[in-house]
Amino acid sequence: MALLTVVQVSLSATAEHSLEKFNEAVRNVPEIESCLMIAGSFDYLLTVRTRDIAHFRMILGEKINKLPGIHQTSSFTVMEAVKEPVG
């Protein structure tokens, strides 16, 4: 899959059960390559790999925005990977 998008996620609640429900659900979305819990102005940072922008739009609307506890998302399309993790 060619397009990489980074998505900031804010949850409506961050109680332990809310986090657990979100964590469990995000593991079931194959297009999400990574999910990192963040200390800061938002709660999670996702990396999402899709075929193209139309596919990403579908994944965002039909899967990511329907994850439990989603309050808000902000998406950033990667133009170039300057350095990526090895192996």
- pLDDT tens sequence across 17-47: 999 999 999 999 999 999 999 999 999 999 9
Among 3.90.480.20, 2.40.50.140, 3.30.70.920, 3.30.350.10, name the CATH number for the domain at 3-77: 3.30.70.920
List, for residues 55-85, the tens digit of each pLDDT value: 999 999 999 999 999 999 999 999 998 998 8
Alpha carbons 55 and 43: distance in angstroms, whole number: 24
Strands (DSSP E) found in the chain: 3-11, 32-37, 44-50, 70-77
CA atoms lying within 13 Å on the CB side of residue 47: 10
Q: What is the pLDDT of residue 86?
A: 82
